[in-house]
Structure 1
Amino acid sequence: MVAEDRVLHNLAVTANACGGVERLMPHVKTHRAAWLVRLLLAHGVGAFKASTLAEVEMALAAGATRVTWAFPTVNPQNIGRFVELAKAYPDAELTGLVDSLHGLNVWTGLLEGAPRSVNLRIDLDPGMGRTGVPMDESALALAGAVAGLGRLAGWHLYDGHIRGAFAERQVKVSKLAETLDALQSTLRRDGIDVDVVGGCSYTFDLWPRSAMSHVSPGTWVYSNAQHLRELAHHDWIAAGFVLTTVVSTRNGTSTLDAGSKAISPDKPQAQRFQGVGEIVMMNEEHTVIRNDTLNAGDRLLLVPEHTCTTAYLYSNALVRALDGRWEYRDQLGNERSVVPLTR
């Protein structure tokens, strides 16, 4: 279940935290819903980030004109598909990521004849150790090679490993900003002036605009139990829930009809949701919680620990619209493939 007014509340406080809605580049993997892309576009968001080609196409079909595919793939079939999308949506700016010369070589062969609207960002590794080129001379060499193609959009920096107290995060971001500034200064001396996109839910408000033009906090759209606990200063509120029913009660416990197939399957069992009591056990279709006040038939709203992997489980959502009406709205769910282009 999704409350549209709560989504707009979260948008307002997130935009305020980063200095303006025009600076946001929200990640659509949080919801995978075209109606939410349209809603955010209508309220001033102009750029989006996606993980999969299905998400890229969904955002474009919903009207987005600036989409970054934040996945440094070396798969030629997927890169070719991305170029096809650029041709099908000629008014959109599409940006991919590279973090190696091998990846750039794959892109180079497929960019011949591609629209000028397709560009690349250098994916930097700020210490997370997942993807990205080190923030040193190798990053500059790769940026120079992409600039030589006339396709350099700038840098991409995802710092999702940064956690801890506010002051700790602030220190880590400041150090990264210094390293990034050194890279930028070197490029400018070579006559190359580009921007940076990145950040995460724990850092987006700490990056100065002078260092990072667009920030990409993640699950703020629906928020989640983890961020409500750890990032309470943002005043986010839960906007996406899993609606469940109590199907049985006994011995101080209640059994819900929402199991591991329904909510936050990537989190430890005891932490998959909040709001109704301690989780005693969970299987695919049921969860037993410790509670002696509920009755069979009671309906509950669970706040997921992780909304991204929860929304991924559903092909539609029951939405309370701004006018109070309830309606089902489609979303991609676990769809990863794309259908043939029709434009």
Structure 2
Amino acid sequence: MTNKTTSEGLDQALAPCLDRLITPALVIDLDAVQANLAATLRRVGGPQRWRPHLKTSKQAVIIELMLDAGLRSFKVATCDELALLLRTAGPRAVDVLFAYPAQRASLSAVLALARAHAGSRVQVLADSPAHLDALAGWSRALGRDAPLPVMLDVDLGMHRTGTSPARWRELAAMPDPLELAGLHGYDGHLTWAQRDEAHQGYDALIELAAALRAGPAAPEHGALELVTSGTHSYAHALDHPGLGAGLGAGDWRHSVSPGTIVLSDRRSHQAARDIGLRQAAFVATRVISAGPERVTLDAGSKAIAPDVSPPSSAVLDRPELEPQRASEEHLPCRVATNAHSPELGRLLWLVPEHVCTTVNLYREAVWIRGGRYVGVGPVGASGHACGLSDDALVKPPREG
């Protein structure tokens, strides 16, 4: 295949199995994934500067490609993502940040996974001083006596989670059995154009790191890690002279944490141009209904980017088709005036507006490589699990 994946190339790749392919289906171009990993590593300066978030890929086959590329540091948001990473890494030691404010039940699962994979390092995130104390209490109650590495979640203006730098500066000490590992300053509220605002946040993060290093909460050994920046602000962080200065300028190390760029999507077009990304994730869909100046596809909000305003996608190589508002199982598309309307049953390819929420909708993905279908496998961390699987054999009580 060429460097750009085309609808014709996708048709040819899946030709041997089209009669059996039930749509909608998630299709991953593994060559494009590998190219995106290599291009991103060149852009950020190597694996030590990138801690990708696995909320995007959620698949062992992609984690394997990441490990093969030399990546060893990751972020996750769910226990399933953490379990999948540790299971896939096996004997290869990884460093993973559970980048979500764990509560007692999820912390119990995180600590159990950390015990089962003692060769790897698992860090947790503290949302606030009160949450920090809760993490310490839960850890003690759950039998944790070894130091648990914790990153402080620093609110740089997104106002979603985390605590302001000023409040974190008042931290007197790390409660046992926790140790300060670093600062997490996610700036997902900023756009590609807001460089100055991003740099102001990074300045505050560096000042906080310096203050904590000089205070009673400082770790006894090792440098703090400063983790910043998703897909829409990584370039601002790489551009900031203080973050990249390294240990000689303040006893910290820095990494960015975009995950979307592994697969790419429509709303990441600026990052795609900057890095040279290829689109790696597609949703295969078929025309199930046709009307005057309208066709309807079988990929509704339960198949692609349910969290965005319409259009949730674009039809690959078919600009004359304009996706409208989706319902759960249907995606109507307006057909441009005088344009050819695709026939009933025609296979089409959608590029998601937001790939992370798209991948999460699927239990399995179809893989292509070298322009050929090479298999299908699980999206091992999609959805959510309640943690009560041990009770699965207990029958529900009968009414009455």
* 1:194 aligns to 2:224 (yes or no): yes
CA distance in 1, matches of 2:315, 2:266: 6
* 1:209 aligns to 2:244 (yes or no): yes
Q: 1:26 aligns with which of 41, 52, 64?
A: 52
Structure 2 unaligned spans of 5+ = 1-26, 238-242, 247-252, 391-400
CA distance in 1, matches of 2:59, 2:39: 21
- Quote how far apart the aligned CAs of 1:163 are: 0.8
Q: 1:9 aligns with which of 7, 20, 35?
A: 35
1:83–1:281 distance in 2 versus 1, CA, 3 Å: closer
Q: 2:138 aligns with which of 110, 125, 136?
A: 110
Q: 1:287 aligns with which of 300, 321, 331?
A: 331
1:179–1:288 distance in 2 versus 1, CA, 3 Å: same
CA distance in 2, matches of 1:210, 1:46: 21
**CA contact 1:271–1:305 (8 Å) conserved in 2:** yes
CA distance in 2, matches of 1:249, 1:129: 45
Q: Which moved more, 1:207-216 or 1:121-130?
A: 207-216
**CA contact 2:313–2:350 (8 Å) conserved in 1:** no
| TM-score, normalised by the number of residues in structure 2 | 0.78
Q: Which moved more, 1:216-225 or 1:325-334?
A: 325-334
- Quote how far apart the aligned CAs of 1:204 are: 1.5
**CA contact 2:324–2:334 (8 Å) conserved in 1:** yes
Larger Rg: 2
CA distance in 2, matches of 1:18, 1:225: 21
Aligned equivalent of 1:270: 311
Aligned equivalent of 1:71: 100
Q: Which moved more, 1:123-132 or 1:244-253?
A: 244-253
Aligned equivalent of 2:273: 232
- Quote how far apart the aligned CAs of 1:140 are: 2.3
1:158–1:300 distance in 2 versus 1, CA, 3 Å: same
- Secondary structure at the aligned position of 2:295 is classed as strand
- Quote how far apart the aligned CAs of 1:92 are: 1.1
Query: What letter matches 1:189 in structure 2?
Result: A
| TM-score, normalised by the number of residues in structure 1 | 0.90
What are the equivalent positions in structure 2 for 1:1-343 lying under 5 Å apart? Answer: 1-63=27-89, 65-73=94-102, 75-112=103-140, 113-114=143-144, 116=146, 118-136=148-166, 138-142=167-171, 144-146=172-174, 149=177, 151-165=179-193, 169-190=194-215, 192=218, 193-207=223-237, 208-210=243-245, 213-228=254-269, 232-275=273-316, 276=318, 277-291=321-335, 292-293=339-340, 294-321=342-369, 324-331=372-379, 332-338=381-387
- Secondary structure at the aligned position of 2:287 is classed as strand
Structure 1 unaligned spans of 5+ = none
For the aligned residue pairs, the C-alpha RMSD in angstroms reads: 2.2
Q: Percent identity?
A: 30
CA distance in 2, matches of 1:238, 1:39: 16
- Secondary structure at the aligned position of 1:182 is classed as helix
- Secondary structure at the aligned position of 1:62 is classed as helix
1:83–1:90 distance in 2 versus 1, CA, 3 Å: same
- Quote how far apart the aligned CAs of 1:117 are: 6.6
1:229–1:122 distance in 2 versus 1, CA, 3 Å: closer
**CA contact 1:122–1:154 (8 Å) conserved in 2:** yes
